[in-house]
């Protein structure tokens, strides 16, 4: 049995691009990555851009993702967006627990778990973000932090749903800073995450799960990172807004 995992390259546009700019950007991205078969290409766009981008990517190899999802099915949650609303717009992926949400919007391990479950129950693929802060790395507790975040995010998530789970290892100190983890550092932590999956779901599940690296991945360092045994793709912020750079990263996944 081949255990080769399909790589997933996902752009995280964060709070950039109006709907009309988004349409233009995704058109330019598609022009660069057209015909890509060796990996999945995803763009995770601001919620308000979803309809415009959904229309632009229909019938192409570019898949659509959101950046957050609420955990309730519906109800009195002013300003929030449910998994079913995303699905209805053609969204297939959703980022959950990005460090910016943990840092600025009160996201906790508990709400990450609830959001992941809501996404999975609706049939979305959840890109669950974990990662240590700089002082946690300096204290030598990276493995502990990342294992804990992974375990809590997957609390009560059944094995049958694991095929729709992607874990993105994003060291907080590497996000938007231009400071990337070395290939070895990133691979080591992705390996630790894979071991957490093995302990909880078994070796086979651990072999299959897609684990991305994110944090200043760019056209220059992508090939090295993506060649590591435990790294199955990237979650890309800054460089995903530059179609030519993003395309280099997509090619590097080959
Ligand atoms: P960056 O962002 O590539 O700009 O560091 C990555 C992320 O936040 O997902």
CATH number, domain at 144? 3.20.20.70
Neighbours of 164 (CB within 10 A): 17
Range of the structural domain that residue 42 is part of? 7-252
Q: How far apart are the first and last CA of the chain?
A: 20
Residue 178 confidence (pLDDT):
86
From atom 1 of ligand 1, which residue's Cα is the shortest distance away?
237
Q: How far apart are CA 142 and CA 49, in angstroms?
A: 35
Residue 74 CA to ligand 1 centre (angstroms): 30
Neighbours of 40 (CB within 10 A): 22
Q: How far apart are CA 122 and CA 251, in angstroms?
A: 31
Task: State the total domains in the chain.
Answer: 1
With respect to residue 2, please indicate whether it lies within any of the assigned structural domains. Answer: no
Q: Which of 98, 100, 107, 132 is catalytic?
A: 98
Q: How far apart are CA 37 and CA 167, in angstroms?
A: 22
CA 127 to chain centre: 4
With respect to residue 205, please indicate whether it lies within any of the assigned structural domains. Answer: yes
Residue 232 confidence (pLDDT):
98
202 Ramachandran zone, left/alpha/beta (phi>0; psi -120 to 50): left
With respect to residue 66, please indicate whether it lies within any of the assigned structural domains. Answer: yes
Q: How far apart are CA 211 and CA 75, in angstroms?
A: 33
User: CA dist 155 to 35, 61, 100, 209, Å?
Assistant: 38, 32, 22, 16
165-199 pLDDT, tens digit per residue, is 999 999 999 998 988 999 999 999 999 999 999 99
* Ligand 1 contact via 217 beta carbon (within 6 Å): yes
Neighbours of 204 (CB within 10 A): 12
User: Residues of the chain whose pLDDT is less than 50?
Assistant: 1-2
Q: At what angle do helices 142-153 and 109-121 cross, to 10 degrees?
A: 40
With respect to residue 1, please indicate whether it lies within any of the assigned structural domains. Answer: no
Residue 238 confidence (pLDDT):
97
* Ligand 1 contact via 11 beta carbon (within 6 Å): no
Residue 4 confidence (pLDDT):
81
With respect to residue 232, please indicate whether it lies within any of the assigned structural domains. Answer: yes
Neighbours of 230 (CB within 10 A): 18
Residue 1 confidence (pLDDT):
43
With respect to residue 178, please indicate whether it lies within any of the assigned structural domains. Answer: yes
Residue 3 confidence (pLDDT):
60
Query: Which atom of ligand 1 lies at the shortest distance from residue 235's CA?
Result: 9
With respect to residue 77, please indicate whether it lies within any of the assigned structural domains. Answer: yes
41-76 pLDDT, tens digit per residue, is 999 999 999 999 999 999 999 999 999 999 999 999
- Residue 38 bears catalytic tag: no
| Nearest partner of 112 among 71, 171, 157, 163, judged by Cα | 71
């Amino acid at each position: 049995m081949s255990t080769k995992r399909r790589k997933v390259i996902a752009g995280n546009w964060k709070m950039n691009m109006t709907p009309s700019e988004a349409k233009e950007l995704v058109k330019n991205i598609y022009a660069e990555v057209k015909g890509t078969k060796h990996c999945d290409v995803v763009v995770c766009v601001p919620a308000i851009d979803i309809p415009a981008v959904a229309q632009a990517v229909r019938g192409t190899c570019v898949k659509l993702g959101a950046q957050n999802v609420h955990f309730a099915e519906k109800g009195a949650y002013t300003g929030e967006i449910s998994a079913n609303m995303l699905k209805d717009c053609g969204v297939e992926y959703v980022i959950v627990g990005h460090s910016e949400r943990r840092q600025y919007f009160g996201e906790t391990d508990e709400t990450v778990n609830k959001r992941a479950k809501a996404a999975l129950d609706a049939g979305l693929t959840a890109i669950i973000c974990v990662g240590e802060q700089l002082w946690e790395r300096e204290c030598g507790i990276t493995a502990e932090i990342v294992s804990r975040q992974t375990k809590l995010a997957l609390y009560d998530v059944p094995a049958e749903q694991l095929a729709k789970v992607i874990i993105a290892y994003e060291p907080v100190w590497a996000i938007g800073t231009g400071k990337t983890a070395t290939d070895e550092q990133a691979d080591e932590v992705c390996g630790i995450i894979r071991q957490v999956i093995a302990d909880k779901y078994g070796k086979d599940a651990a072999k299959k799960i897609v684990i991305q690296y994110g944090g200043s991945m760019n056209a220059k360092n992508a090939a090295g990172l993506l060649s590591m045994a435990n790294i199955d793709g990237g979650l890309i912020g800054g460089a995903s807004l530059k179609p030519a750079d993003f395309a280099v990263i997509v090619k590097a996944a080959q």
